[in-house]
Amino acid sequence: MLFRRILVVDDEPIQREVLAEIVKKITPEAEVIACCDGEEAWNICQEYHGKIELLLTDINMPGLDGVGLIQRVSESYPSVKLVFISAYQEFEYARNAIRYGVKDYLLKPFRIQTARELLERVNSELEEEQAAEQKRGKYESFLKMEEQKRQLRELFLERRRADQLDREIRNRFPGAGNIVVFRWKLSTGNRSPRYCARLSVRQQDELQSRMHQEFPEACFLPQEHGLDETERRMILLQTENVDQTINKLQGLLAEMKKKGIVFWAGVSGQKTHLLQEISDAFRQAEEILAFFFYSPSDGGIYSWDTMHMMLEQPMISVSSFEKELKAAVRVQNEGGTGEALKRLEKTLSRQGKLSPVRMKHCISSMIVSILKEAEGMISQQEYDSLLNEAYEAYGTCDSLIQLFDISEEILDKISVGTKNRSEEFDAVEQCISYIREHIQEDLSLQSLAELVHFHPTYLSARIKEKVGMSYSSFILSIRMEQAGHMLRETDWKVLKIAQKCGFKDSSYFNRIFRREFGMSPEQYRKVHRPC
């Protein structure tokens, strides 16, 4: 990899050390520097004059937090690649940090494979940038175009003022205008966008060609290198009024849908001085585009002027549904969870289109809360797996349908897990009862495992979990318990009692009994039966 120096910032010592070690394993050739807060990290950046290829920083830190650190570094050392470290509840916050040039995000808890993929992705970007740099001298016209795009991107990221742009760009946008942000996919007829295929190069070219025809005076800017990590987005800077823009887009959408292509467009409000207000216009277009969440397969045109109030509408309370879902999980009522989810979806649908970010956070937080309550009802392995699955699935979820599909799937897995766990406990109870009733027999772990159709190792672990001791120790404790009872309540000879308790060798029985009770069987009988 190209990394020579990587800086890791996190105020939590364990998280910091774990991530630093993971990064060292993946990039042994790089110098990995770890520090505990934003101020220390900023001093290090200054000390190295920004000669750090990659900065990974936590969001919430005392003093200078992750956002403040990112802002300083991006302004002073734009070549540094930036990655947020975030917990799930901070996920949307991290994704919205594009204005500061954040390249990617890394969710807690850290996984080596995820970190490896991130580093490889950023390294690929470095390689591509280096390759592009080597070719710059051959394409002067291309350089000029790229310079214009760079200046416009800096406007979006608030690193440049409108009056600092080249005159050619300023003359192109003399006054009022708006911004449109797009995303597009193939229309496959499936209910969720995760099943929609991406457009081919030819289809993308066709769509963009038609956009150029409809908006010949507009500037089309691919979202890349700090604006968006995908290839399916594009920004249009437009100088027509908003109504004209929307009408053209609606006509174009109807035309392209006949060809199996759908797109979504977020249209900002009209700005009196577009270049001076470009960052705010971009924010409006991005935020309103998020409403494609409600139409994952049909496409749509969303206007800030007519829809922005929806972003401020409060979420309705879901506490009653959460209680119902938790109760259904506790009693292993799989049908109950599905019915409650359907009622919740209908209730939310009647409220109209609420903020997609709030909707996603509300539902995902509810499901994760239910999962955490069920931690003791399923195996630790299942819990860890489901928690990671929830983080990953909700992080990439981009439709209401998908949101509830994911939620139903996770709840089903919780219900199955609790049912299996219950059955396991029943089987363990069956084994314990069998042991007590057949204590005089040779109770091998293998034979008992065959009785309940468990693997011997797995059964041993479940019994230990239930009784707090190993299988052999538990068998011995039951035998000693029975031996004590027989010595107290019967006149049987010690040899007979030993045999009744599953001991073939009376001398071995005497030795074990003395070790457990501190006296011989005869002495025990005298103490507990003095008359």
What's the burial of 196, exposed, middle or buried (CB within 10 Å: 0-12/13-18/19+)?
Answer: middle
Check if the beta carbon of residue 271 is closer than 8 Å to that of residue 174: no
List the one residue out of 144, 194, 224, 258 whose CA is nearest residue 400: 194
Confidence of residue 230 (pLDDT cuts 50, 70, 90): very low
Which CATH number is 5-137's, of 3.40.50.2300, 2.40.50.100, 1.10.540.10, 3.30.70.20?
A: 3.40.50.2300
Residue 142 has pLDDT above 60, yes or no: no
Give the C-alpha separation, 157 to 71, whole Å: 10
Q: What is the pLDDT of residue 8?
A: 94
Q: What is the pLDDT of residue 10?
A: 93
Residue 60 has pLDDT above 70, yes or no: yes
Higher pLDDT, 226 or 361: 361
Give the C-alpha separation, 117 to 124, whole Å: 10
Backbone angles phi, psi at 524, to 5 degrees: -60, -45
Confidence of residue 227 (pLDDT cuts 50, 70, 90): very low
Highest average pLDDT, of 313-327, 368-382, 465-479, 508-522, comes from 508-522
Domain 438-528, CATH homologous superfamily name and number: Homeodomain-like (1.10.10.60)
**pLDDT by residue (tens digit) across 404-414?**
888 888 888 88
User: Following CA atoms 347, 351, 357, 359 in sequence, which dihedral angle do they give, to the nearest 10 degrees?
Assistant: -10
- Report how far Cα 70 is from the mean position of its chain's Cα atoms: 22
Give the C-alpha separation, 301 to 244, whole Å: 13
Confidence of residue 88 (pLDDT cuts 50, 70, 90): low
Q: Are strands 300-303 and 233-238 parallel, antiparallel or unpaired?
A: unpaired
Higher pLDDT, 159 or 390: 390
Which residues contact residue 247 at a Cβ distance below 8 angstroms, ignoring those fewer than 6 apart? none
Name beta bridge partners: 32.
6
User: Can you tell me the mean pLDDT for 177-185?
Assistant: 83
Q: What is the pLDDT of residue 149?
A: 66
Three-class SS state of 363:
helix
Confidence of residue 228 (pLDDT cuts 50, 70, 90): very low
Confidence of residue 159 (pLDDT cuts 50, 70, 90): low
Residue 113 has pLDDT above 60, yes or no: yes
Domain 152-307, CATH homologous superfamily name and number: Reverse transcriptase/Diguanylate cyclase domain (3.30.70.270)
User: Can you tell me the mean pLDDT for 386-400?
Assistant: 84
Highest average pLDDT, of 47-61, 117-131, 167-181, 315-329, comes from 47-61
pTM value is: 0.49
Where b means 16+ CB within 10 Å and e means fewer, 176-187 reads ebbbbbbbbbbb
Confidence of residue 43 (pLDDT cuts 50, 70, 90): very high
Check if the beta carbon of residue 101 is closer than 8 Å to that of residue 226: yes
**Which residue pairs, CB below 8 angstroms and at least 24 apart, start in 13-16?**
15/58, 15/85, 15/108, 15/110
Residue 371 has pLDDT above 70, yes or no: yes
Read out DSSP for 10-74? -SSHHHHHHHHHHHHHH-TTSEEEEESSHHHHHHHHHHTTT--SEEEEES--SSS-HHHHHHHHH
Check if the beta carbon of residue 126 is closer than 8 Å to that of residue 103: no
User: Can you tell me the mean pLDDT for 8-28?
Assistant: 91
User: Can you tell me the mean pLDDT for 380-394?
Assistant: 83
Q: What is the pLDDT of residue 183?
A: 82
Q: Which helix (H) or strand (E) holds 156?
A: helix 140-156
**For residue 79, what is the DSSP state?**
T
Residue 103 in tokens: 């390249």
**Hey, how many other C-beta atoms are within 10 angstroms of the C-beta on 152?**
21
Q: What is the pLDDT of residue 52?
A: 92
Give the C-alpha separation, 437 to 431, whole Å: 10
**pLDDT by residue (tens digit) across 236-256?**
776 668 888 899 999 999 998
Mean of pLDDT over the chain: 80
Q: What is the pLDDT of residue 322?
A: 81
**pLDDT by residue (tens digit) across 401-456?**
888 888 888 888 887 766 666 556 666 777 888 888 888 888 888 888 887 777 78
Read out DSSP for 216-260? TT-EEEE--TTS-SSSSEEEEEE-S-HHHHHHHHHHHHHHHHTTT
Residue 324 in tokens: 């119902």
Q: What is the pLDDT of residue 226?
A: 41
Confidence of residue 174 (pLDDT cuts 50, 70, 90): low
Check if the beta carbon of residue 24 is closer than 8 Å to that of residue 6: no
Provide, rounded to the nearest whole percent, the portion of the chain with pLDDT above 90: 17
Asked which of 76-90, 132-146, 501-515 is least confident by mean pLDDT, the reply is 132-146
Q: What is the pLDDT of residue 145?
A: 58
User: Can you tell me the mean pLDDT for 334-348?
Assistant: 78
**pLDDT by residue (tens digit) across 265-283?**
999 998 888 878 888 888 8
Check if the beta carbon of residue 80 is closer than 8 Å to that of residue 45: yes
Residue 262 has pLDDT above 60, yes or no: yes
Residue 356 has pLDDT above 60, yes or no: yes
In one-letter notation, the amino acid at residue 396 is T
Q: What is the pLDDT of residue 397?
A: 83
